[in-house]
Amino acid sequence: MNSDSRDLDLGKGDVERPHFEAVTTLSDSQAIRSVDFHPNGKLYAVGSNSKTFRICQYPALSKLRHGHQTAVYPPSVLCKRTKHHRGSIYCTCWSRDGELIATGSNDKTIKYMRFNNDTNQLVGHEMELNMHDGTVRDMCFLDDSSTKSRLLASGGAGDCKIYITDCGSGTPFQAYSGHTGHILSLYSWNNAMFVSGSQDQTIRFWDLRVNVSVNTLDNDRKDGGLESSAVTAVCVDPTGRLLVSGHADSSCTLYDIRGNRPIQRFYPHTAEIRCVRFSPSAYYMLTCSYDNSIRLTDLQGDLAHELSSVVVAEHKDKAITIRWHPTEFSFISTSADKTATLWALPPS
């Protein structure tokens, strides 16, 4: 079932709200900052502050029923690497063909490894990149399937530059300047375009075919632009038409990319938003926050009107990262409570 095929009623009052069940929970000795699904949805990778990297198996959800989940079990761990980095793992990212997995750390390095999709095993030697001079906060792959080239965009603290690396040769070949604060979030939606959010309170759009940002959103725009608040999370829908940004002041902004105009700003949380993600067909959106909660927002209908959102999952401490499953109605969230939990909506 496609994850967007559910018709959920997110109304207020006595209407029954979608109740996601915790299916598996991975526990660690320290906060878990990063997670990403393999493109085929059968695996997911987790990186933690304990420097540990794991690849876990996605469980079968066929037996999940409302109210029948008696125990939450740990996932099956197919691969575990302790001391994978010399510091905490801040970000994890699969390439779109699933053949590379990359991690970034506050040890200022990126590591990426080849992954065999047939054997579900890491193969060969890891590559280490050392061009950053601060914490690597986020990364995204830009894959050209026609040429089989895999490019990795990465950013973070330090010099506030975004580096583009050719993963075939292991060579950083481009560095984008423009941000004046730490880069907190990166997201790509095709082979050439990606977007960045920064502590400098701006969002920048980048095109690999151009050496400078092709558009900048900030609080100086006369049409509303952005509030004076750090941009902690960015995401673009699959069509490349709609941007959502999450901010340190607990707000979200929806932005019409092609019309180059803000649609609305709303406040789904009570504390800093750490991650935003559209569902695969962008009918819904997940946000997670330092208020410990994950909220689901319905994007069907007029986006300029008030949006309905409800809490669908909660952690015992700050929620840090969320990822939708590529095809099923489930997601993973990570938290400062030292867990990564897979949540799913039982069949109707």
Q: What is the pLDDT of residue 7?
A: 64
Domain spans, the chain = 21-344
The pLDDT of residue 138 is above 70: yes
The pLDDT of residue 271 is above 60: yes
Q: What is the pLDDT of residue 14?
A: 34
Query: Tens of pLDDT along 236-260?
Result: 999 999 999 999 999 999 999 999 9
Query: Tens of pLDDT along 180-198?
Result: 999 999 999 988 899 999 9
The pLDDT of residue 64 is above 90: no
Burial of 95 (0-12, 13-18, 19+ CB in 10 A): buried
For residue 340, count other CB atoms closer than 10 A to its CB: 29
The pLDDT of residue 227 is above 70: no
The pLDDT of residue 12 is above 80: no
Instruction: With beta carbons less than 8 A apart as the criterion, state whether 139 and 102 touch.
Output: yes
Q: What is the pLDDT of residue 228?
A: 81
Q: What is the pLDDT of residue 211?
A: 80
**DSSP code at position 13:** T
The pLDDT of residue 296 is above 90: yes
Q: What's this model's pTM, rounded to 2 decimal places?
A: 0.93
User: Percentage of residues in the chain with pLDDT exceeding 90?
Assistant: 79
Q: How far apart are CA 195 and CA 234, in angstroms?
A: 7
| pLDDT-derived band at 65, boundaries 50, 70, 90 | low
Of residues 56, 59, 76, the one with CA closest to residue 23? 59
For residue 62, count other CB atoms closer than 10 A to its CB: 7
Torsional class of 205: left (φ above 0), alpha (ψ -120 to 50), beta (otherwise)? beta
Query: Tens of pLDDT along 297-347?
Result: 999 999 999 998 999 999 999 999 999 999 998 999 999 999 999 999 877
Q: What is the pLDDT of residue 288?
A: 98
Instruction: With beta carbons less than 8 A apart as the criterion, state whether 204 and 223 touch.
Output: no
Torsional class of 13: left (φ above 0), alpha (ψ -120 to 50), beta (otherwise)? left
In this prediction, residues 89-113 reach a mean pLDDT of: 97
Q: What is the pLDDT of residue 143?
A: 79
Q: Name the average pLDDT for the chain.
A: 90
| pLDDT-derived band at 1, boundaries 50, 70, 90 | very low
Q: What is the pLDDT of residue 146?
A: 62
The pLDDT of residue 97 is above 60: yes
Q: What is the pLDDT of residue 4?
A: 65
| pLDDT-derived band at 285, boundaries 50, 70, 90 | very high
Q: Which two tokens stand for residue 200?
A: 């400098």
Q: What is the pLDDT of residue 155?
A: 98
For residue 238, count other CB atoms closer than 10 A to its CB: 13
Q: What is the pLDDT of residue 3?
A: 52
The highest-level CATH class for domain 21-344 is: mainly beta
The pLDDT of residue 6 is above 90: no
